């Protein structure tokens, strides 16, 4: 019988898309801002961090408010 646990050596399905999109996005943004690759990667990593923290805050604050009201 097969196992539902994926093999550790298999790569995620979306990984090739992200690798391919990196170069395209870099070229698109480089036209306007003339960023180095390292600076571009740092900005996008920081943007993802801010996005995740925002999602956490916008979900956590209403939950805490509901607990305080009840």
Give the start-to-end residue ranges of the domains of the chain: 36-70
Residue 24 is predicted with a pLDDT of: 87
Q: What are 16's two structure tokens?
A: 């090739």
Query: Would you tell me the crossing angle of helices 15-33 and 37-69 to the nearest 10 degrees?
Result: 110
How far does CA 41 lie from the centroid of its chain?
Answer: 12
SS3 12: coil
Residue 51 phi/psi, 5° resolution? -60, -45
Q: What is the pLDDT along the chain (70 residues), one digit of tens a residue?
A: 555 555 555 545 555 666 778 888 888 888 998 889 999 888 888 888 898 899 999 999 999 999 999 8
Residue 12 is predicted with a pLDDT of: 53
């Amino acid at each position: 019988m097969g196992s539902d646990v994926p093999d550790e050596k298999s790569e995620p399905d979306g990984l090739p898309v992200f690798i391919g999109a990196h170069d395209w996005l870099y070229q698109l943004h480089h036209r306007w801002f003339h960023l180095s690759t390292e600076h571009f990667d740092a900005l996008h990593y920081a943007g993802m961090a801010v996005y995740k923290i925002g999602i956490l805050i916008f979900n956590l604050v209403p939950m805490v408010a509901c607990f305080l009201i009840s």
